[in-house]
Structure 1
């Protein structure tokens, strides 16, 4: 039975080779049997421009290109951490970049795909930040900066994230969850009863109603403590987790 895989929030970085190793194994095994692979944002922990390539980004591009060349198309939607990933890198990966909110046909159903950050409307500070950094002119200005300047900015962002207190991190998690009316609004706007997204790191399959009709929202898991995938086929939808390769038991 052919299937489609969805993943998000891998946050690949040189400091977590365990995540990279599991991802590369997934691309070389289970993903090879799929109809398609969709990556719904935050593939990388941070992205500072397509012109800044590392052994990690090259390794990932090669693995994704190999998957595509094997006959499995790969699609990508920007996340809030790697929204500057561009067509240049996508071509290296043989990967197609989709609009931030995209429709896809899945075995008789139409699904709305998105990263998920736009659904977190209670997080006003982030939504205001997003309005600015997603402006094309600001992105062009940032990408025009010298590579070493962008690298320093990236390091400051990583350090700031790591240094947040546990209390602040918990507060962020609470307001980071989706706002149900925003889910309803997008489903009605796009005329769908199935939504798939990441971002919140809270994997689950939520059943609800839209105009008295059943609807489903599927949240993809992050890869911090294990691999996390959504498998969709004609038989149904299943969230799957995989231990890291060095885990025992």
Structure 2
């Protein structure tokens, strides 16, 4: 059966072997029979550079390489935790890197896909960091630092992110509705798929007199959701962490 899979916000790390095991099962049991796999950001809890070679990342890269070598295309959009993934990772895995917003043809329907952090415009502190970190100089500066220093910066960033999640009002960290409609109008689509907010759902609404939907992927900390799209429709599935 024709099906295309979308995942996001796995936050893979050596500290969560349960998530890694769930990812391996997903690649072996589900991704292997898909028409294509799209990873919409935050595949890793933190990615400090393609030059960070270790057994954990090698295992993840090998899983992607096995999938793409079997003929199944895999696409990746950077998230806020892994925007330093680069061409070396793509070459080693066969994964194709996409821009932060990508228009795709999904069984005859134009669909916009993205990580989703750019939609959270009410979080002014994060948007300022996002602008800096996606600039031309900041990634180069980070990658020029020793791996040990990058690990320290990443760990500090993770702690700050966890604190912000507890301190900031939830509506600030969710998407801004006006930004959603602006982007969908810009790309002339009635369907948007994204991650980032960890609030899986399919939102139906009216866009300029036409039915529209915004599909939000869940994280893999506990809910481990994925989106399966077929020519007949789309469905959010859960439970990938289950053995």
Q: TM-score, normalised by structure 1?
A: 0.94
Deviation for aligned residue 1:122: 0.7
Alignment partner for residue 237 of structure 1, among 218, 234, 237?
Answer: 234
What does residue 223 of structure 2 align with?
226
* Superimposed CA distance per residue, residues 96-122 of structure 1 (whole angstroms, 9 cap, x where no aligned partner): 000100011111101000000000011
Alpha-carbon distance between aligned partners in 2 of 1:23 and 1:118, rounded to the nearest angstrom? 26
Alpha-carbon distance between aligned partners in 2 of 1:243 and 1:95, rounded to the nearest angstrom? 22
The two structures, once aligned, show a CA RMSD in angstroms of 1.4
What does residue 131 of structure 1 align with?
131
What does residue 199 of structure 2 align with?
202
What does residue 43 of structure 2 align with?
43
Q: Which deviates more from structure 2 when the two are superposed, residues 147-156 or residues 217-226?
A: 147-156
Alpha-carbon distance between aligned partners in 2 of 1:189 and 1:135, rounded to the nearest angstrom? 22
Contact 1:21 1:245 in 2 (8 A): no
What does residue 99 of structure 1 align with?
99
Contact 1:5 1:229 in 2 (8 A): yes
Contact 1:22 1:245 in 2 (8 A): yes
Alpha-carbon distance between aligned partners in 2 of 1:142 and 1:178, rounded to the nearest angstrom? 28
Gaps of at least 5 residues in structure 2 are none
Q: Which deviates more from structure 2 when the two are superposed, residues 83-92 or residues 32-41?
A: 83-92
Partner of 1:242, secondary structure, is coil
Alpha-carbon distance between aligned partners in 2 of 1:8 and 1:243, rounded to the nearest angstrom? 13
CA gap 1:211/1:245 in 2 versus in 1, 3 angstroms: closer
What does residue 184 of structure 1 align with?
181
What does residue 213 of structure 1 align with?
210
Aligned length: 243
Q: TM-score, normalised by structure 2?
A: 0.96
Contact 1:228 1:241 in 2 (8 A): yes
Alpha-carbon distance between aligned partners in 1 of 2:161 and 2:185, rounded to the nearest angstrom? 35
Deviation for aligned residue 1:72: 0.8
Asked if residue 193 in structure 1 is aligned to residue 190 in structure 2, the reply is: yes
Deviation for aligned residue 1:54: 1.8
Partner of 1:82, secondary structure, is coil
Alpha-carbon distance between aligned partners in 1 of 2:161 and 2:131, rounded to the nearest angstrom? 20
Gaps of at least 5 residues in structure 1 are none
Contact 2:195 2:217 in 1 (8 A): yes
Alpha-carbon distance between aligned partners in 2 of 1:118 and 1:161, rounded to the nearest angstrom? 16
Alpha-carbon distance between aligned partners in 2 of 1:157 and 1:180, rounded to the nearest angstrom? 27
Partner of 1:174, secondary structure, is helix
Contact 2:13 2:44 in 1 (8 A): yes
